[in-house]
Structure 1
Amino acid sequence: MENKRFGYKKPKYRMGRALRDYFTGNMWEHTEPAYRIAPHVWNVGGQDDVSVYLLDTGEGLALIDTGYERTLYLVIDRMYSIGFNPRDVKKIFLTHYHGDHSQGARLLQELAGGKEHCEIWLSKEDELMHQETAFDTTPMPCLPYEVTNFYDDDTPIKMGRFTIRTKLCPGHTLGVTSFFFDDTDEETGKTYRCAVHGGMGTGTMYPGSDMGVREHVTPETAFRFVKDCLEMAEWPVDINMSSHLNQTNIDENMPEDTNDYTWFVTDYSWHDMLVNRAEDVMSRYPEQYPDFKWTVPNVE
């Protein structure tokens, strides 16, 4: 049986209890270094929960997600630690509108010179939810930010060395967006197919989920998520850039050399993550999937 390094592991409390308990939760006990995940891509999130990907495009920097407001200092520190300046960020691509991915958007945009110098991208579907929930304080508040650009799945985003294709993937929210691009290592000449699925959290799709009701997620949304995941799982991806570390169990499988992106090159990680999440949803709807059996279970 193949010994697989990466797999989906049930999420723990976000950074221990640091976000839930200001008095006993120690956020600094859950930090991570910046690590290189592709030739020109690093995770600079700085903690063991949500990813913040930095893309060195050769024509300025781009970020995929921004993390929490309370961990923004870690993002900035990690960027400087690998030789980048947050003032050079030109585009912020949000996978979806939830605060754990977007709380830092406005602050990073302002640090980079405002909307005249740094764009914030989101799907139109999630911008509706962003506006609907703009003043909510649960499950987490979000600093106001202005979306300057919307994704168009028929129009790739070109920035320097990267041509980024997007795909709307409703499920976790109605406007989850996934990203696909190639990245070439000039030293070796090898090109790697990279992918970020923007929303693997399945709780919103469980029958009767309160969060799902708030998100306007229906059973039909869940069934589309399953279909999309099983189809996309067959797409060739060399480097799976999970939006949360637990989705590929990276926290327990960090490379010794954080500059060695080849640690993350696999032919199974993308496939297994998507199939696992699809199966988690399928397991909740026995009437829809009467013959369901797990094929890619969680990592214990």
Structure 2
Amino acid sequence: MVSEVFITCAVTGGGGAPKQENVPVTPEQIAESAIEAARAGAAAVHLHVRDLKTRAGVLDPALYRQVVSRIRESDVNPVINLTTGEGCYIVLGSSNSPLPLSAETDMLGALERLVHIEELRPEICTLDCGSMSAKSTSEGAMINTIGALRVMAARLQELGVKPELEVFDTGHLRMVHDLVKEGLIDDSPLIQLCMGVGYGAPSDLVTLLALVRQLPPRAVYSAFSVGSMQLPYAALAPMIGANVRVGLEDNLYLSRGRLATNGELVERAIEILDRLGVRVLGSNEMREKLKLKVHA
């Protein structure tokens, strides 16, 4: 068990349009919710943006620019963690006739997925370390080839942006080891264990511990689960040496039937951690721990 952790707040996810009114959609809403989470005690904010018409997740540098500028101009200074997870989805025409691909396919080149990172230079950005079937459609999949990951990891090294390596299943952790071995990930890799997501690793403790035991040496890692297991994982994470993630990307509720805000989820996580005697690190302490490069 660790005695101190940092909290990341995942403010709003990608994917389809949210149905609940508590999920921030516009750049103003996303930035305000991130600022609220930082004021509540989140050291880092993990950000997606959403199309203003469809409300679905999108890679739009102009929207990212608005969100990041508002946060950087505010009275808080959280570590900014931008997703690179858009632009990696394919949807087959059908099971029997996979080609041509469906118009729903959203597939970009490796460097195209980094255009907002190139411009805004966050301290952290995510790197999804493998492929996975999509639960939302029977013909869809998230595709992250080792070739694309090598290109993205190498460019992030050049930019001085630390990748948060997203691990959704055991094979993804094997890919992490390969990237580290090839020198594409700097020492003390930052890893996020993503549990209970779609057809990835389930959120049970046995699977989680199996992943923890396969982490590369000197890894700094967080663990979270989606839905009703999010807040229990805030208590579980420090017991396995992990940091904490909460937020509306992964869970919409503070309690049964009670919609949450990002700030409330952070406050609840801090309450849980305080009762366990675990100290919550501030944003500058997180920067020091991870040796992050501040570009803005």
TM category, shorter? 0.3 to 0.5
TM-score, normalization by structure 2: 0.33
Task: Give the strand-richer structure, 1 or 2.
Answer: 2
RCO higher in structure (CA 8 A, sep ≥6): 2
